[in-house]
Amino acid sequence: MADSTDIPIPPASFAFLVESVLMQAQMHLGLLNFGDEKEKNEPNLPLARHSIDLLGMLQEKTRNNLTVEEQRLLENGLTELRFRYVQVADESKKRAEPAASEPNKEEDDRPLIITADGGKGTKTE
C-alpha cells in the first residue's frame, strides 16, 4: 500500500534523463542552492565537466534518432551548460589568482611610497 507522503515519480523518458543530468551539472557548477543563501555550494568543475561530457555523449549516440523537442532540449541545455562552465571556471580562476599574487605580508610590511609615477616608487628602509 502506498504511503500518502510518497512523491509521485515521473515516467521514465529521454527528456527526464536529460533534465536530471542538466540539474546535476548545474549543482556541480554551484548554480543551484537548496539551503541558506550563506551556504552557497562551491563549484566542482571536474564533476560538472563529467556531466556535460555525459550529455555530449548522449547527443552523439542519439543523433538523428530524437524528436525535435528532445533534440532542442539537449542542444539548448548543452549550450547553456558549456557557457556557464566557462563563466564559473573563469570566476574560480580570478578568485584564486589574487591570493596567489599577493605579497607575503610577514616578509615585507614596510609602507610603499606613492609617487607621481603611479606608485612605482621605492620602499622605505
pLDDT given at position 107? 56
pLDDT for the residue numbered 96: 82
pLDDT (tens digit per residue) in 65-94 = 999 999 999 999 999 999 999 999 999 888
HSE at residue 72, side-chain half, CA atoms within 13 A, is: 3
Residues 29-70 have pLDDT tens digits of 998 877 766 667 789 999 999 999 999 999 999 999 999 999
Amino acid at 106: E
The model carries a pTM of: 0.69
- Give the start-to-end residue ranges of the domains of the chain: 14-101
